Structure 1
Amino acid sequence: MTFQDIIDQDKPVLVDFFATWCGPCQTQAPILEELKQRVGDTAAILKIDVDKNPAVAARYQVRGVPTLILFKKGEIRWRQSGVVAGAELERLLRENS
């Protein structure tokens, strides 16, 4: 399954553009793990390492990490750079499911 196939799904897909050397990304990671437990199969959460996938990061103009982008049916519904609280992300996923 390609990146495009994943973001084209009917369910919301939250993409975390991150880098292994990024401190705030390490703060965001456990928040996303916990979120995945809470939302289950109602949404997908995908992590993209910008150093390993520069073309995808460039396509979505990711300039800083972490950058979170919420897709549904291939469309960007929301995006934000920096660490985002789990409760806020859960609300966004539920609003878009």
Structure 2
Amino acid sequence: MTNESKHSSMSKFGELIESKTPVLLDFYAEWNEQSTAMHPVLRDVAAALGDKGKVIKIDVDKNKELSQALRVKGLPTLMIYKNGEMVWRQSGEQDANTLIGILNEYI
């Protein structure tokens, strides 16, 4: 892997989180049951948000550098970014209503 391709994944991340609407990031791994159990919850959250925000799932095995940079340890790790700043972060499962409530504070 060259520096360029690594850099582009980080700069792409930078573009994602510069959003004026809240972006919920879900760091997960396919082998981690707790984090795959979150997928239907995140679908509900995305549906409730509509175009007022984004939900982005990030596979830690495919994004090791980003996961290390953000010190992702426990899975799932959920983060909300707005205007390039992390405004909320939590590890472990959350229910859809809790996440929607938190996201609504940043819309």
From 82, 88, 92, the equivalent of 1:72 is: 82
Mapped partners of 1:33, 1:3: distance in 2: 21
From 29, 39, 51, the equivalent of 1:41 is: 51
Mapped partners of 2:27, 2:101: distance in 1: 20
From 60, 64, 67, the equivalent of 1:57 is: 67
Q: Please identify the structure whose Cα radius of gyration is greater.
A: 2
Counterpart residue type for residue 85 of structure 1: D
Query: Structure 1 stretches of 5 or more lacking a match?
Result: none
Matched with 1:26 is 36
Matched residue SS, 1:41: helix
- Quote the offset at 1:26 in angstroms: 1.6
> Deviation string for 1:30-75 (max 9, x for gaps)?
0001111111010010010000000110111001110000000111
Mapped partners of 1:91, 1:25: distance in 2: 20
Counterpart residue type for residue 18 of structure 2: D
Matched residue SS, 2:40: helix
Counterpart residue type for residue 45 of structure 2: L
Mapped partners of 1:9, 1:35: distance in 2: 18
Percentage identity across paired residues of the two chains: 37
| 1:91 correspondence with 2:101 | yes
Mapped partners of 2:53, 2:12: distance in 1: 17
Query: Structure 2 stretches of 5 or more lacking a match?
Result: 1-10
Matched with 2:92 is 82
Which consecutive segments of 4 or more residues in structure 1 shift more than 3 A? Answer: none
Mapped partners of 1:25, 1:90: distance in 2: 18
Mapped partners of 1:19, 1:42: distance in 2: 26
